[in-house]
Amino acid sequence: MTNVLVTGGSGQLANCIKDVARKFPKLNLIFKSSSELDITDFEKTSSIFKNQNIDYCINCAAYTDVDNAEREYKKAMLVNSYGPKNVSIACLENDAVLIHVSTDFVFDGYSSIPYKEEDLPNPLGIYGLSKFRGETAIKEHLKKFFIFRTSWLYSEHNKNFMKTMIQLSKSKKKLSVVDDQIGTPTYARDLAKTMLKIIDKKNKKYGTYHYSNEGVASWYDFAYAIFKEIESEIKLCPIKSKDYLTSAKRPYFSVLDKSKIKMNLDITIPHWRSSLNEAIINLRKEINL
């Protein structure tokens, strides 16, 4: 058996890993929530690696509140930068492979073509900066790592854009969503399968990779597709980012180029619309839409 530690064990991505775990019987998944394992505490992090004989660590622990990060600079940096450093050192000491989740927010969004892994990061806000510094800390300490930059994660679990839109459709007749921020929605269950597949096959083509679903969308497009899937009659109106002010500035364009991951890791990536359909079907099994 391969022992796999999953930090941030009660978060959205970790819950999706639990959903698909049965398809990978050779992996012994050990989930630790943030309350059970604070990755900013090196001694506790190191002891879990040693006591559990960890072979791989999927680091899902993160500070993900993009707007509050502007006000909680120290907390965001502690979790997203110092935490990955601790996990990296623990991996190094125990000869474990790190799989770390990063974000499209490391880019400024001024590109007109999909971002490749070697493109220069230039985060616009504290959240993106903290995640980029986490990437840097990993690269300074490890050679055996996978960093996955992803975008617009959603699923049946926890709080996310899809579930928020569904909830709003029950209480509102009209809704405005920005149409000038372009990226790709990513079903967290697809990312979960990809990470476990890499561990299961013991792939050693380490490095930084981009993973999101195929296709391109604005947040308006994403919302429109959600409402169409659930057959909602809510009136959806497109607006510009300047008319919907937030504490943190978002990249206008953050589509990720997935050529490298498809070539190096033999990964097949579904289109975001087909994955959204699957997510809605799975959500219907849990709640009455």
Q: Residue 212 in contact with residue 271, Cβ under 8 Å?
A: no
- Helices assigned H by DSSP within the chain: 12-20, 42-52, 73-77, 83-93, 126-141, 161-169, 188-200, 219-229, 259-264, 272-286
Take residue 209 and report the two structure tokens written for it: 């990779």
Which positions are annotated as active-site residues?
127
Could you give the CA distance from residue 127 to residue 195 in angstroms, rounded to a whole number? 23
Helix 272-286, helix 188-200: angle, nearest 10? 100
Tokens 């050693």 sit at which residue? 204
Query: What radius of gyration do the chain's Cα atoms show?
Result: 19
Distances (CA, A) of 222 to 125, 142, 167, 275: 23, 37, 15, 12
Maximum pairwise Cα distance, the chain? 56
Give the number of other Cβ atoms within 10 Å of residue 289's Cβ: 13
Could you give the CA distance from residue 185 to residue 188 in angstroms, rounded to a whole number? 9
DSSP 82: I
Instruction: Report which secondary-structure segment, H or E, holds 100.
Output: strand 97-103
